């Protein structure tokens, strides 16, 4: 992995949780549940296109976990640095859900 690939992968991993943190809540506040669906389509679609369509990130395996991992770690770190109280039962539930989803995907990918 070259230095350019390392830098672009870190930047690509930062973009997704940053967009979630900055845009998702505002769309939900403005449009309610429909805003959540709009945010899901716009944020996830845009981040996927930048990272995978354009090829900003370097990927050598486990393609089904990269954006989920970036979102989870990025948003957890943002909450910790902001001093928010972390509900660790929700973090554990997210990890277990991700493991189950990864196992199911691995059965046919």
CB atoms within 10 A of CB 62: 10
CA distances from 43 to 1, 23, 25, 28, 85 (A): 27, 8, 12, 13, 25
For residue range 45-78, list pLDDT tens digits in order.
999 899 888 888 887 766 656 788 888 889 999 9
Contacts (Cβ under 8 Å, ≥6 apart) of 86: 76, 79, 80
Domain ranges (residues) in the chain = 3-106
- pTM reported for the whole predicted model: 0.76
Q: Which pLDDT band, with edges at 50, 70 and 90, does 19 fall under? A: very high
Question: Chain-wide mean pLDDT for the chain?
Answer: 88
């Amino acid at each position: 992995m070259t230095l350019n690939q390392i830098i672009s992968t870190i930047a690509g991993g930062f973009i997704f949780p940053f967009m979630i943190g900055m845009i998702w809540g505002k769309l939900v506040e403005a449009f309610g549940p429909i805003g959540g669906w709009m945010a899901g389509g716009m944020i996830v679609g845009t981040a996927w296109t930048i990272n995978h369509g354009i090829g900003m990130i370097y990927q050598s395996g486990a393609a089904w976990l990269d954006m989920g991992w970036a979102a989870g770690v990025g948003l957890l770190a943002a909450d910790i640095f902001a001093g928010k109280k972390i509900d660790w039962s929700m973090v554990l539930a997210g990890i277990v859900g991700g493991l189950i989803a990864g196992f199911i995907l691995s059965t046919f990918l």
